[in-house]
Structure 1
Amino acid sequence: MDELTGRRVYGADHDDPDPGPRPGRAYRELVAGPLDGLLLDVTGWDDHRLREVAALPTEIGSHGPGGHALYGARPGDSRRWDWHGDTP
């Protein structure tokens, strides 16, 4: 958890006084793209879901409000999820 301290969790409100990771939760680091550096809370996700590409809603991707950024597990390093592009 120490390596995640000070990091912002995807979906945390911008005015949240503590937008970082919580003890007992599982996270993946989002790499590249519009959500680069954020942590995704994957607590409770099963193995199948963790292998799929996730479409994460974001207003800062190439499609603006209503768009999604696509992220999936990096081969050989499932703790990091790489950006696969944006979709409406």
Structure 2
Amino acid sequence: MDELPRRVYGAFADDPTPRRGHVYRELFGGPLDGLLVDVTGWTETERATGAALRTDIGQYGPGGRAVYAPRLEDARVWEWQDDAC
């Protein structure tokens, strides 16, 4: 069975696939589970911190955020921490 292409958080619906030459982190758990977030151009400090990403499907609905932070054992994967408003 062929694997479906990965989708990028915040990408346009007409082409949500990863772009060559970009750097991504995989989101694990929470409302954005399975998506990739494009961290191209982020500083090492920003990448090491994680992010609070807007989402309408989290605990707080439209305008809410899902908080993700790098895994200790593999910083390429960001694990869901909590939802925030």
- Fold match, TM over 0.5? yes
Equivalent residue in structure 1 for 2:73, among 62, 71, 76: 76
- Deviation string 1:19-43 (CA, Å, 9 cap, x unpaired) is 1100000000000000000000000
Query: Which consecutive residues of structure 2, in runs of 5 or more, have no partner in the other structure?
Result: none
Query: Which consecutive residues of structure 1, in runs of 5 or more, have no partner in the other structure?
Result: none
Equivalent residue in structure 2 for 1:64, among 61, 64, 75: 61
Q: Percent identity?
A: 56
- Deviation string 1:33-72 (CA, Å, 9 cap, x unpaired) is 0000000000011111111131100000000001000001
Question: What is the aligned residue count?
Answer: 82
Corresponding residue of 1:13? 12
Q: Does 1:50 align with 2:50?
A: no
Equivalent residue in structure 2 for 1:28, among 16, 25, 29: 25
CA deviation after TM superposition for structure 1 residue 13, in Å: 3.0
Q: Which amino acid aligns with 1:13?
A: F
Helix, strand or coil: the match of 1:37? coil
Consecutive aligned runs of 4 or more in structure 1 exceeding 3 Å deviation: none
Greater mean deviation of Cα atoms: 51-60 or 61-70? 51-60
TM-score, scaled to structure 2: 0.91
Q: Does 1:85 align with 2:47?
A: no
